[in-house]
Homo-oligomer: A and B are copies of this chain.
Amino acid sequence: MSNKKKTTLKDIANILEISTAAVSKALQDDSRISSKTKEAVKKVAKDLNYQPNHLASALRKGKSNLVGVIVPRTNSNFFSSVVQNMEEVLNKAGYNIIITQSNESYKKECDSIDTLLFTQVDGIIASMANETTDLDYYEKIKSRGIPLILFDRGENDLNVDYIGIDDYASSHMIVEHLVEQGCKRIAHIGGYQRTRIFNNRIRGYKDAIEKHGLPLDSELLLESSLTQEDGRLKMEQLLSLKTRPDAVYIAGDYAALGALQVLKENAIDVPNEIALVGFGNEPFTAMVSPPITSIEQHSAEIGRLAAQTFLEHVSSPDVKQSLNKKILDAELIVRDSSNKKAFLN
């Protein structure tokens, strides 16, 4: 019953009256161990339900085979899909992952980093919290000498690998799509300017607007935390303008959802009165009414690439980390919230 004591190499060794070294090697299929011994060892190991002590081997080998993952939230489809695909690739290579969430808080993010370093992970794959501007903690990872890979929310200054989509180009795609729909006054509810990806989206928006000779009105460009609630507030703000926009591009789907609610509450015809575009292609964008046009970020591919990048680093540890961006093309998923043409039928 109280089979509390875990079986160790020593137990197996004692039973077979051989050394623990022989047992260890037998379990690793070392060529210098006779097949007779190997079989015997494996049989006893199985009988005793032997589970190797990971702490001991990790300590000895100086590697834990654990990869730390830091995401702002897990309850977004984007991050959960990234993580899932990352896990698949890493598991195949013998790594397991530890997921931690920063909840968009800088403090929590620092704690996560400490936890992961403390757990002796072999590397960290992270997407930074919105709040994060101070990079000291990330430098701490680098100075530990383990690979650091960023995705989605990254920072050039850290000079590490980064996997993400082309935010600047995505904004262009969106604006062009809206122009095609005949929109002439396009607003942008963007993320925090200080966050690189949101800044890129803002730049892309501005440049695309200018490119098409549209008004770049400062009251049409708002900075937002991109929560659902703030999406509501910012949309209300836009509706209170003397001249309302005829299209709103919002840098996050949750905020876009909040905005859509406000539009519906105000009985505004979407897309004909105001067209709406989100960002991230969260599943609910397809589910609400009208479905929201959004940008697919290829989360699965980002996850796989991040994992592969990590594996490349561990397989050639001498290569110094440097700024190495892998930028994927995003895809515009047009839905009813911006598709005026669909209503012409």
Residue numbers of A with Cβ under 8 A of B are 2-4, 6, 49, 51-56, 58-59, 64, 66, 73-77, 79-81, 83-84, 87, 91, 96-101, 103, 111, 115, 117-120, 143-145, 228, 257, 261, 264, 283-284, 287-289
Contacts and interface: CB of A to CB of B under 8 A. Distances in A.
4 closest A-B pairs by CB: A75-B80, A74-B74, A4-B145, A99-B99
A80 B73 contact: yes
A115 B53 CA distance: 12
Central interface residue in A49, A58, A73, A143, by most chain B CB within 10 Å: A58
A145 B4 CA distance: 5
A55 B66 CA distance: 12
B288 A3 contact: no
A101 B101 CA distance: 14
A333 B100 CA distance: 31
Nearest to A140: B49
B120 A55 contact: yes
Contact of A74 (B49, B55, B75): B75
Contact of A289 (B55, B58, B59, B288): B288
A287 B289 contact: no
B99 A74 contact: yes
A84 B3 CA distance: 33
Contacts of A120: 53-55
B261 A66 contact: no
Given A52-B118, A74-B83, 9 more contacts: A54-B118, A55-B58, A84-B101, A98-B98, A99-B99, A228-B283, A284-B287, A284-B288, A287-B288
B99 A98 contact: yes
A119 B145 CA distance: 22
Contact of A3 (B6, B58, B143): B143
A84 B101 CA distance: 8
